[in-house]
Amino acid sequence: MPNVYVTRVIPQPGIDRLRARGYQVDVNESDTPLTQEQLREKAATYDALVTLLTDHIDRQVLDAGKGKLQIVANVAVGYDNIDAPAATEDGIIVTNTPGVLTETTADFAWTLLMAVGRRVVEGDQFFRGGRYKGWGILMLLGEDVYAKTLGIVGFGRIGQAVAQRATGFSMDILYYDPVIQAEDAARRVGARRVELDTLLRESDYVTVHTPLVPETRHLIGMPELQKMKSTAYLINTSRGPVVDEGALVDALRQNLIRGAALDVYENEPAPHPGLTELENTVLTPHIASASRETREKMATMAADNVIAVFEGQAPPTAVNPEVLKK
């Protein structure tokens, strides 16, 4: 009987789907990330690992599972926590959960954009702190969203969904992506593809939706922040290291940009020193895809990938399908 190890608690429908097939499914019930030593032990013992972004599946973990471990099913669209080339060398399939979190993440990017632009969190703290003494015409002035310019860095599924929502605000939509893609989608929403420098200079809101690869690490650093409008806002729901967090703190302190809203961080769960002290930020704990419906879909998609491999089929969302040809 195939056995599966789930490295942290995930929504129950995913676990139920695996157990319904008769597989032995063990779960780390502590909801605390496993150590590298523990991950190596599980890789050597189980036929499948269902992992999360907090699990660092490096070459040592994969080598420990060589010959036994068939699949690492990541419950996330990103898989930068997994050494996919090493997995390929060891004949281990890696899968992710794309698509199901697109709309939810796009919704949340807009949640952050609106919150930081209209100073919602500041207003909440102002009211709860007992400082509200009556309406004032200059109190907590924010920035309009309607008819402003939105710059989207990365025009994949989520970037396109963000752009679609921007049409309801009659925004001028710019996007930057080194890969020319989704030209039909761009035309439908009236988005214009521009170079990154142009996007930074012209946008009132810059929202980041790129994967984390070597080329995108610190894609937004001090040189890029200096090119933005002093009245502009930066929103990041992609991966923390895409933004140089130290440079962002300095830029916010120097008023180089008006504000920032982050859901991801360079060294999660720790923020860069000084970030939480800044009032012109909205900071959330990596919850862009955290709707009940979406997280359940992610868990069941990961389960479906495992089931496909155990049944000799191609998993729906393999990130290294070349393993299947070996």
| Residues carrying an active site annotation | 239, 268, 286
Residue 97: Cβ-neighbour burial (10 angstroms; 0-12, 13-18, 19+): buried
| Site of tokens 């002093």 | 230
Contacts of 267 (CB under 8 A, 6+ apart): 240, 245
- Which amino acid is located at 234 in the chain? L
Which strands form 149-153's sheet, in the order they lie side by side?
192-193, 172-176, 149-153, 205-208, 233-236, 259-262, 281-283
Q: How far is the C-alpha of 211 from the C-alpha of 199, rounded, in Å?
A: 18
Tell how far CA 254 is from the center of its chain: 27
Question: Tokens in use for 258?
Answer: 């008006």
Tell how far CA 38 is from the center of its chain: 26
Q: How far is the C-alpha of 116 from the C-alpha of 34, rounded, in Å?
A: 35
Q: How far is the C-alpha of 300 from the C-alpha of 99, rounded, in Å?
A: 13
- DSSP assignment of 4-66, as one string? EEESS---HHHHHHHHHTT-EEEE-TT-SPPPHHHHHHHHHH-SEEEE-TT--B-HHHHHHHT
Output the CA–CA distances (angstroms, integers) from residue 259 to 1, 94, 109, 217, in the order listed: 54, 37, 15, 21
